[in-house]
């Protein structure tokens, strides 16, 4: 069996994969087994060998490959940019089909892709990825033989229903206005919504959760602290960054959400650094980045000490940390704490003056004790 689980909604992609893992483990007397492969580097023969190997003790086997769709997405974009005119002319004159084009993009993977639908019944191959276009050649080649689950960001109307169902999962009941307030305050970040619902369920017990409860618990201080964490890392204030990280964890924030927020900060810095090198005005840079006001000012103050290479190197470390979590090398909290320490201590020295501007402290008082993990 082939499962393709992908989309921009990382939370529901994660949940779908965990559900598949539980299904295999619970439905197998031997508990099942799983293997993870890095789709960015795996070779066709490695994937086939792993997928066709029968478990030593019988039972079912889950092969998880992360990032393989994205690898072909990049190839498709590159080919489209470099050969757009030539490909169009050839298609017009020769009648080339989309399947022919996809076959060309699969390259050395063609034989492996042709063999994947004939995997042993004991093997479940799960291709897990983020956003991928409908014309992704690997997705197009396997879609007929695979069970495909795509998770786009929830629309506003869908979000309210998801919040209600998620609250029920934790034994919590929310008033209609409380659900609307949650959707308004937290938005479509399902990692954050899930964390807040867990807290609300714990504090409310058997009581119905009101709008006032939501507005009280879903603190804007926490969101400000999350942005302050990214500022502290980029500006080299390591001790403060670690303290903020511990506070956010104590408040129930998800480490993977914080990792995504930090990655966004470095993506903006990389773009800003390149635009500064092109000598564009601050206003034009803000427009190009899609940020304005305080956010644009902060990015423009943080980017100059770095070179483009230093920022790309830091972003590469973020991707490595994400991969180490998904491979199980480190748990999410340990991986992120090590990353924060490394990035904050890799900030280039400034020529005189004080460290870069950061947000005012977003919260006061000691962080609450972290709940014990059962």
Backbone angles phi, psi at 111, to 5 degrees: -65, -40
Q: What's residue 160's pLDDT? A: 93
Q: What's residue 159's pLDDT? A: 93
325 near 331, Cβ under 8 Å? yes
**Distance (Å, rounded) from C-alpha 143 to C-alpha 141?**
6
Tens of pLDDT along 140-181? 999 889 999 999 999 878 999 999 999 999 999 999 999 998
**Distance (Å, rounded) from C-alpha 321 to C-alpha 281?**
34
Q: What's residue 195's pLDDT? A: 84
**CA proximity to 262, closest of 176, 325, 202, 322:** 322
Kind and range of the H or E run holding 209: strand 208-209
Please report which residue ranges of the chain form alpha helices under DSSP H: 10-26, 44-52, 68-94, 98-106, 110-115, 137-142, 156-169, 176-186, 190-204, 211-217, 220-234, 238-250, 255-277, 282-289, 293-302, 308-326, 332-344
289 near 296, Cβ under 8 Å? yes
Q: What's residue 92's pLDDT? A: 47
Which residue positions in the chain have pLDDT lower than 70?
27-32, 55-58, 74-104, 219-224, 349-374
Q: What's residue 131's pLDDT? A: 84
**Distance (Å, rounded) from C-alpha 157 to C-alpha 152?**
14
Q: What's residue 78's pLDDT? A: 53
Domains of the chain: 2-150 (3.40.50.300), 156-218 (1.10.8.60), 223-344 (1.20.272.10)
Q: What's residue 101's pLDDT? A: 52
Q: For strand 2-6 and strand 147-150, is the pairing parallel, antiparallel, or unpaired?
A: parallel
What is the CB-side half-sphere exposure of residue 341 using CA atoms within 13 A?
7
32 near 25, Cβ under 8 Å? yes
Q: What's residue 149's pLDDT? A: 95
Q: What is the maximal distance between C-alpha atoms in the chain?
A: 71
Tens of pLDDT along 30-68? 555 788 888 888 899 999 988 888 766 667 889 999 889
């Amino acid at each position: 069996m082939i499962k393709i689980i992908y989309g921009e909604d990382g939370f529901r992609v994660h949940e779908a994969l965990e559900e598949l893992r539980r299904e295999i483990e619970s439905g197998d007397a031997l508990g099942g087994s799983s293997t993870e492969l890095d789709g960015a580097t795996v070779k066709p023969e490695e994937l086939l060998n792993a997928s066709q190997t029968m478990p030593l003790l019988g039972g079912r086997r889950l092969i998880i490959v992360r990032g393989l769709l994205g690898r072909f997405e990049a190839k498709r974009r590159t080919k489209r940019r470099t050969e757009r005119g030539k490909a169009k002319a050839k298609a017009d004159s020769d009648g080339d089909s989309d399947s022919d084009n996809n076959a060309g993009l699969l390259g050395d993977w063609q034989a492996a892709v042709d063999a994947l639908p004939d995997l042993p019944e004991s093997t479940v191959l799960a291709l897990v990825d983020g956003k991928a276009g409908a014309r992704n050649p690997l997705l197009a080649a396997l879609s007929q033989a695979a069970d495909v689950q795509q998770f786009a960001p929830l629309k506003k109307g869908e979000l309210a229903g998801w919040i209600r169902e998620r609250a029920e999962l934790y034994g919590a009941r929310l008033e209609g206005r409380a659900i609307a307030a949650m959707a308004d305050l937290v938005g479509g970040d399902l990692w954050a919504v899930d964390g807040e619902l867990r807290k609300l369920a714990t504090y409310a017990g058997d009581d119905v959760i009101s709008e006032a409860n939501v507005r009280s618990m879903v603190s804007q201080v926490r969101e400000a602290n999350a942005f302050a964490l990214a500022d502290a890392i980029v500006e080299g204030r390591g001790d403060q960054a670690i303290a903020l990280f511990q506070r956010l964890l104590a408040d129930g924030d998800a480490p993977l959400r914080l990792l995504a927020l930090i990655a966004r900060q470095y993506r903006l810095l990389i773009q800003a650094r390149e635009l500064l090198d092109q000598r564009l005005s601050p206003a034009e840079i803000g427009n190009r980045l899609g940020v304005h006001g305080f956010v644009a000012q902060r990015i423009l103050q943080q980017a100059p000490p770095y070179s483009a290479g230093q920022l790309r190197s830091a972003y590469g470390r973020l991707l490595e940390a994400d991969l180490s979590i998904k491979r199980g090398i480190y748990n999410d909290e340990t991986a992120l704490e090590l990353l924060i320490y490394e990035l904050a201590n890799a900030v280039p020295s400034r020529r005189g003056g004080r460290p870069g501007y950061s947000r005012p402290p977003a919260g006061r008082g000691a962080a609450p004790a972290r709940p014990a993990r059962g």
